[in-house]
Amino acid sequence: MCHSPPSRLCLRAAMVLQQHYLRSQRSVSLPTLPSLDAIRKHRDRLIWARQRQLPVAAQYCSEALQHCLRSATHQLNEQFEQLRKPMRQAPSLAQLYAEIASLEDEFERVEIDLRNRQLAVTTERIELEEIDLGPFEIRLQLNRLNESSPYTVTALDSHESSSGHPHPHVSGTSLCEGDGHQAIAAALETGLIGEFFVLVRQILRTYNEASAYRKLDEWHGVDCAACDDTVSSEDAYCCDSCHSSLCSDCEYRCETCHSSTCYDCSQSCEGCDDRFCRTCTEPCADCRERFCENCLTAGRCTSCYESDEEPLDVPEEEAFEHAAIEAETPEAAVHTDCMGEVAVSA
């Protein structure tokens, strides 16, 4: 590896690339032609159903035949498009060498790592709308050029957003190519390695608010954990229990200790319906519902406490009969002996 690769190292990297393009050229294949067996089978079944006046079976066979024909048409169109493309020659060793050598004029740092089959460049400091994002490293994996995304984009002096994005169009080390996807794919397919790196750098220099992972006007903002709205760090609140960030609309204040809580970490009093942190509510000793201290009396909620204090509701007629029976009962004690006889004390 070196910062300004010598000609010998550039040549060896060009040879690695040429071997890749030669292998790719030899492994070119055309789409498989559709089989006519399934089409014939469904066609014969449709004819049989129609001849025997079976409308339900005929409808089923017709739909199956239509599906096979649509699939065959799609395969034939793919084959036709492939045949229209001219046969592409693998780039020459001289062309690939020139592409790699040109990187020294475009970028501040070029690195060739033949052991890991990697080619990397470092951009200048990227600044978008007066926000310094620092330099980025674009690293191409030379043995994975046939893959959909054979490169990574890494912030070297990260000035990432509050959401953790190093660039509005970079998530982790993956670049959102947007409208540049086809141009990047074509450059890699034809061996225009220098153009590939320039295209990626151009995307890093460009800001498209519509496709940004994080908008620049919200770069230093904070996402509310409850509603996902973005607020400035000065206007954000923090839940004292789970430490999630909250906007003013989603922050609750405990009515007792005045701590900040989110909805999930707060508790609603069953008596007054105000919200409290979990440590400022207690369960009722009887019904076990949670209440604030102002809605509990001797550990009971108002409903349970009042029902415990009220006398038993005995009907007036029943109370009168009970009193009359007690008045007629003689004071003498009545005892039953073991033989079943009753002895009355005088």
- What phi, psi does 335 have (nearest 5°)? -125, 145
Residue 266 burial (10 A CB sphere; 0-12, 13-18, 19+): buried
Domain ranges of the chain: 1-220
Contacts of 336 (CB under 8 A, 6+ apart): 342, 343
**Tens digit of pLDDT at every position of the chain (346 positions):** 445 677 899 999 999 999 999 888 777 666 677 888 989 999 999 999 999 999 999 999 999 999 999 999 988 888 888 778 776 788 999 999 999 999 999 998 999 999 999 999 999 999 998 889 999 999 999 999 988 899 999 999 878 877 788 999 999 999 999 999 999 999 999 999 999 999 999 999 999 988 888 888 778 777 788 887 777 767 778 898 888 888 888 888 888 888 889 988 888 898 888 889 888 888 998 888 889 888 988 888 888 887 776 555 555 555 555 555 555 555 544 444 544 454 444 4
List, as one string, the DSSP characters of 233-272: GGG-EE-TTT--EE-TTT-EE-TTT--EE-TTTEEE-TTT
| Residues in the chain, total | 346
For residue 167, the tally of other CB atoms under 10 A from its CB is 26
Instruction: Report pTM.
Output: 0.59
Contacts of 294 (CB under 8 A, 6+ apart): 271, 272
Instruction: Identify the CA nearest to 140 among candidates 159, 116, 161.
Output: 116
Residue 147 burial (10 A CB sphere; 0-12, 13-18, 19+): exposed
